[in-house]
Amino acid sequence: MKSITKKRTKAFLIDLAISSAVTVGVEYVLRKKVKNEAIHAIVTPTVIMWSLEFAQLRKKGQTVGYKKMGLILENENGPKLTSAQIMKRMAYRDSISTFDYLKNPKAFEQQNGQLLPHDSFSSTVVKEI
């Protein structure tokens, strides 16, 4: 695993920990109103993680984890990230990207870990700062 990929993994785990903490608080409030366990197990954590990630990436191009690890997400064409790019990246990463890895793990990383399949799909690149 390349150095930047290790940093990306650590950044994701940091962001996941923050998202999990927020999810616990939100679920505490929602448990009284929503009785369906599928909502609490699937929908709430996904919506919170995507919302936090979207807001941070749209505003600064970094999540808390990316900032801590010295990484930034950029549009590979130069200008600022668009909302569509961020949404495409998150959706692809959390669904199809897993199958890409299982199909061919050796070809998963490109450009020394700066470009993973969900980055290629959304025309973004992760760089060290």
Task: From first to last of the 129 residues of the chain, give the pLDDT tens digit.
Answer: 578 889 999 999 999 999 999 999 999 999 889 888 888 899 999 999 999 999 999 999 999 999 999 999 999 987 789 999 999 999 999 999 888 888 887 777 777 777 888 998 999 999 999
Tokens 């061919």 found at: 104
Sign of CA dihedral 54, 60, 65, 69: positive
Nearest-angstrom CA–CA distance, 3 and 86: 23
Name the residue among 51, 48, 73, 54 with its Cα closest to residue 62.
73
CA distance 24 to 57: 23
Global pTM value = 0.88
Confidence (pLDDT) at 109: 72
